Structure 1
Amino acid sequence: MTTETPSVAQRLGGDQFLARTFGRSYHVVRGNTASVAGLVSWDDLNAILTHHRLETPRFRLASDGEPVPAFRYSRPVVTRRSTTWQRLQTATLHEQLADGATLVLDAVDELHPGVGRLAKHLENWLRTAVQVNLYGSWTGTEGFGTHWDDHDVIVVQLDGAKRWKLYGPTRTAPMSRDVATPEEPPEQPVADLVLTAGDVLYLPRGWWHAVAASEGRHSLHLTCGLQTTTGADLITWLSEILRGHEVIRTDVPRFGTEGEQREFLDRIAKLVADELAGPDVITRFLLARDATESARLAPSLPYVTGIPPQPELLVQLVVARPRLAILPDGAPQLTAGGEEWTFTAEALPLLQLLLDGSSHSLGKLAAVAGLSVEQVAGAVNGLVSGQVAAVRTTL
């Protein structure tokens, strides 16, 4: 198995997993160290901590459900420009970790190329935004106690072993902004699992769990947090697309008679009911979500004034869920990052090639489309300006 996310998807069960397990129950797939080759190693983590100024809360320690104060493992450094940042102290950092603290690094997908690819492919498969956090622990002390998350997670164990006690949900689909909190979990877990290197665990949101490196070994794992897409999100989208109707833009008749208020509500109810009765409402909603996803940060330096027509330059889309449609006149239209681009029909082959998410040279894109490198560079320049593509010189 490679570290490409489709392999993670296939191991979880692919379409069968989405149909039978996703959002319903936990799922464990066993693996080995080869399964996670190319993802974060301890050396990679050491390099990230060495070469980046990572402030709290992005980098933090936790123990027994509480954050460890930053002054216990770092000290403030004042620069000559009078800015202050927290410099890690390796000796006290090691002491805190040996004493039971858990190390947490948020959004490691923005700091490590292999994890970035993992996140991007998960986003493409699951059609939602993904943030990957890294956790390291050394003792049986639980970093966060027994808790639940407001989003689904996919856990990839990288090294060592981690014990997961799963207690199940006590409230269906809890949210971060909710009208009630889940009841406390039962005393006995419904599953008691030990993950070792290469294992993958899926856990739906709302499932109570407790995690510790209680097997006498240090542990390093990734938690891929999946952004939720709920009925509340659909209602918000619906309110946006209905603004073309006068009654939606009209002030609520707070000083009107009871009959006027009832008429106002009935008109809104009919609009909403008619819209929801359509056969493709969820499809349109999901396409809108895909179209407005945020692109991943990827500058194209040194090409600040335009992409030069050099055949060897490599181009890659930096969005995971672009959409390509063919307009009635045959022109391809690309939607990504909240923007739309319409191209001539000749550009269709190069756009289809870019949609695979890989890097392709300007020369290759020109060849498949039967266009000049200059024409392709011009098309790519628009995508780079729209922040949905990036150009570089090497893989």
Structure 2
Amino acid sequence: MKDSYLVEAILGSEDLLRSYRNRNFWKGRIDPVKLQSIFSWHRLNELLATHRITNDRLRLSLADDYKTANMVAFRPGRDQFGRPTDILSISALHQLMGCGVTGVLEATQELVPPLEVLTSEISTRLQARSSANAFFSFGSSSGFGPHNDDHDVIVIQFCGQKHWQFFRTSPSLDKAKVDDLAAPGTAEKGDCVLMQEGDVLFVPKGTWHDVSALNAPSLHVTISIVFPTMSDFIRWLLTKHRYSIPFQDIRSDDDPSTVAAICADFLHTEIGCDTVSTFLNEYYARHSARRTNPAFPHLNRVTPGDSFIRLPYTFITLHNDKRLATRTISALGRKHCISELEHEVLKRLSHKAPSTLKDIQSFNPKHGPNTAATIKAIEGLLDKGLISKM
């Protein structure tokens, strides 16, 4: 129940989902007691005490200084076996936090299972990449200054309070986004939102805001919702054609109007519905909706009661060798050679709901009686990391 509570509370809110679809700001509330059974100061202390937290996992920041605090808290050193690593000084961290520094524990879903369940479900339902970062602070200074995020964010206040300052464009009272303001100042201050334990925000991509604690402990988590952008698409397109038009020089004596016409013709010719679809297929074939679950002690063997789920959103068939009855596919950023039966199982297996061996056998009746062949196909896909046990 605890692992699924956040999914039910967040993704079960029709108001939040409506705001997400309409790209509108939203504020709601869920049970703070249940929240603190999932993540709290006690759990954060446990993580800092029992995990090797290096500077790529924990960032420290003030609004006008992103480097000094990290240099003070972390120093190069060696572990118990003499291997080089970053060493976090807890005493230095305490002092820095007391001076108003904000700490960010990145990819917290990798350390807190209910957050992993939530981010995986967001990835699965919304076809987005998702991650959770935990923010903790004690002072009253801003950790990052006025800024906007290049993705949608769900904010969950687990402990304490946090002050969110939003900005507006005069005379509008709406929350300003990056396309409304280049850099907000005091004159553009708009709504203030005081986040209490149990409060939840949906902050659309690009919304200007400034966040600070109130001279008291505050712990909140942000859930990112990240989609491919037009910029990603254009970079992908240019890379695909890097040795044709985009590769050509523009010399100082070239006619600018001719260059512009060549570029416009290239983009007009190459950009279309099919191109966008191909890009999205390749994009989603690189990223997993959820991580592979470990399956000790049986490893990647099919045992009674197992259920299975496909990891990537999609995969691309690159080559079909009828002579060898194999397919070459692209999935999770790699090429894989799989059998026809493995291809059939992968094609029909859902990334949204798990299937049992019996379910998989029913995908195609001609393979139904051959349990051994189906098991071999499932185990082959498990060995390649393309599907996972649930």
| TM-score of Structure 1 vs Structure 2, range by shorter chain | 0.7 to 0.9
Pair 1:308-2:315 in alignment: no
Give the direction of change, closer, same or farther, for the CA distance of 1:157–1:251 in structure 2 (3 Å limit).
same
Amino acid at match of 1:11: S
Q: Secondary structure at the match of 2:222?
A: strand
Aligned counterparts, 1:105-254, within 5 A: 105-167=105-167, 168-169=175-176, 171-172=178-179, 182-214=182-214, 217-240=216-239, 247-248=244-245, 251-252=248-249
Give the direction of change, closer, same or farther, for the CA distance of 1:251–1:86 in structure 2 (3 Å limit).
closer
**Match of residue 375 from structure 1:** 373
Per-residue displacement from partner, 1:184-226 (whole Å, max 9, x unpaired)? Answer: 4343522111122332212234333221222x65221111233
Distance 1:59 1:247 in 2: 43
Pair 1:285-2:283 in alignment: no
Q: Is the 8 A contact 1:307 1:378 kept in 2?
A: no
Cα deviation, residue 133, structure 1: 0.9
**Match of residue 177 from structure 1:** none
**Match of residue 352 from structure 2:** 356
Q: Secondary structure at the match of 1:187?
A: helix
Distance 1:256 1:58 in 2: 50
Q: Is the 8 A contact 2:302 2:379 kept in 1?
A: no
Moved over 6 A (4+): 331-335, 340-343
Q: Is the 8 A contact 2:77 2:86 kept in 1?
A: yes
Distance 1:82 1:342 in 2: 43
Distance 2:150 2:238 in 1: 24
**Match of residue 179 from structure 1:** none
Amino acid at match of 2:332: G
Distance 2:252 2:104 in 1: 54
Structure 1 regions of 5+ residues with no counterpart?
175-181
Distance 2:194 2:383 in 1: 47
**Match of residue 96 from structure 1:** 96
Distance 1:257 1:137 in 2: 56
Give the direction of change, closer, same or farther, for the CA distance of 1:160–1:205 in structure 2 (3 Å limit).
same
Q: Is the 8 A contact 1:332 1:348 kept in 2?
A: no
Distance 1:248 1:385 in 2: 41
Q: Secondary structure at the match of 2:140?
A: coil
Amino acid at match of 2:18: Q
Q: Secondary structure at the match of 2:161?
A: strand
Pair 1:8-2:10 in alignment: yes
Cα deviation, residue 290, structure 1: 1.5
Q: Secondary structure at the match of 1:69?
A: helix
Distance 1:269 1:74 in 2: 50
Distance 1:252 1:91 in 2: 56
Amino acid at match of 1:8: I
**Match of residue 78 from structure 1:** 78
Distance 1:64 1:317 in 2: 42
Distance 2:250 2:73 in 1: 58
Superposition CA RMSD, Å? 4.4
Aligned counterparts, 1:254-333, within 5 A: 262=258, 266=261, 269-276=264-271, 278-279=272-273, 281-294=275-288, 298=292, 300=294, 307-319=300-312, 321-322=313-314
